[in-house]
Amino acid sequence: MQDALAREFATAFEAVRGVVHLVPTRATAAEAIVRILKEAGITSAAAAALPEGLQEALVAGCGAAGIALMQPPYLAADLPLSMDGPEAGITGMAFGVAESGTMAEVCDEDSVRLVSGLPRTHIGVVFASTLVPRLVDAAAPMRAIFQQYPKNVTVSFISGPSRTGDIELILTLGVHGPEYAHAVVITEEQA
C-alpha cells in the first residue's frame, strides 16, 4: 500500500517539476541529501524540523563534504536575515499526499518556514508511512495537528518549486522562493 503511494507521490511531485529521491532509511536519506547538495555545488545549507536520527547523520555528512550546515535552534534576533544566506533549506515533513505530490510541513515557530521558503533550493523529507492517498484524506491528519497545537501552528503544503506564469503564461520557477524542490521519501523506516 505505502509503496504504491510512494510511487504515486513521486509521479505527482515530478509532474510539478520537483525531483524525488526514494531511500529506505534515515541514514540513506542523509546520504541522498548530501549528494543533492554536492551535485548542485551548494556549500551552505540550513536544516529545520528534521526527524531524530536524520539530523545527526546529516551534520556528519555535510561536515565530511565541507558543506556549512546551519541547525536549530534559530533565534528571532538573527531572523530573517540569517536565513537569506544559505543556498539550500532542508525541512522534515509531518505527512504527505500521494495524489498531488504534496508535503505538509508543521511548525509552531516560523524559522522553519524561512528555511523552506527563502533559499533557492528546498529539500523536504517525508516518510512513505505518512502518505495519505488523496487530498481530501489530508483533513484527518490536519485535524490531529491542530488538536495537538491548541495555540499557534502553521502547516505549509508544499507541492514542488515556487512557480509563476504571470508573464505571457510562461511557466517560470523560483520567482521568490525555491527554484529547485526535492522530496526525499523514506520508504522503509517508520516515522
* List of residues contacting other proteins (CB under 8 A): 16, 72-81, 84, 99-100, 102, 107-111, 113-114, 117-118, 134-136, 138-139, 142-143, 146, 149-170, 172, 174-178
C-beta closer to other proteins: residue 28 or 162? 162
Mark residue 132 as left, alpha or beta (left: phi above 0; alpha: psi -120 to 50; beta: remaining).
beta
* Rg over CA atoms, the chain: 16
Q: What whole-number distance in Å separates Cα of residue 92 and Cα of residue 95?
A: 9
37: three-class secondary structure by DSSP: helix
C-beta closer to other proteins: residue 105 or 189? 105
Backbone φ and ψ for 121, nearest 5 degrees, come out as: -120, 135
Contact 22, 6 (CB under 8 A): yes
Closest separation in Å from C-beta 69 to other proteins: 17
Closest separation in Å from C-beta 169 to other proteins: 6
Closest separation in Å from C-beta 123 to other proteins: 15
C-beta closer to other proteins: residue 61 or 141? 141
9: three-class secondary structure by DSSP: helix
C-beta closer to other proteins: residue 157 or 188? 157
